[in-house]
Amino acid sequence: MAHGVIFDCDGVLVNTEAIVTEIEMAAMASLGVVYEKANFISRFVGMSVPDFKVGLNADHRAVHGCDLPDGFFETLKANAYAALETRIEAHSGVHAFVSGLTVPRAVASSSERRVLGMKLQRTGLADLFGEHVHSADDVDNAKPAPDLYLRAARGLGVEPAKSLAIEDSASGVRSAVAAGMTCWGYTGGEHCPPGHAARLRAAGAAAVYDHFDGIAAAYAAGFASGGRA
């Protein structure tokens, strides 16, 4: 059975994490819940939307003794979507690497399906993955559970143990490793704080790269021949 390459979306294929994290932290700060950026990223990047909502609400309750105001998440989502429509970009080297692959490839993202589709369309990546785009809406258990990566592998008809995942979050790395895949970390996004590479390695990343040129070179030296790097 052939190997495949499966990508997280936010923070790996596209620069959304930097944009959305800025908006999310500002929205919480306006309510008196202030985060240190590295801690916010460590806790929430890569998390499913339902789990993210639970986490923010718990933090607001810890500070104020009550839930977030009615309509908070609807407003946050609308503001983030509007920002992404105008500021979203694919990371440097992504198009060249993905389009150059000769093996099956897929997306396994914690994003909601509608928003994920918009991100891929606006960055010209949608046609490179076709129907092999999987969101948190497609599984019962979100990252760091292995369900999403296993679903993506099944859809491609590839063996997880021979396949490669590329992730920017500790939660995502744990998900891919739990699925039996080799996972490479990516720290080329503006949202990645100092020391993030070490966090990804601690979560189980076999290697970490800060640009897709490095990923492409490592892939050509290992996975391109069907073996594990």
* Active site members: 8, 10
State which amino acid sits at residue 145: A
Cα 131 to Cα 47, 81, 122, 205: the distances in Å are: 23, 23, 16, 27
Question: Residue 45's closest CA among 146, 155, 175?
Answer: 175
Cross-strand pairs, 182: 164
Q: How far is CA 209 from CA 92, 124, 156, 217, in A?
A: 13, 23, 25, 10
Q: In residues, how long is the chain?
A: 229
DSSP 80-137: HHHHHHHH--BPTTHHHHHHH--S-EEEEESS-HHHHHHHHHHTT-HHHHTT-EEEGG
Q: Return the bridge partners of 186, or none.
A: 209
28: tokens are 């919480």
DSSP, collapsed to helix, strand or coil, labels residue 158 as coil
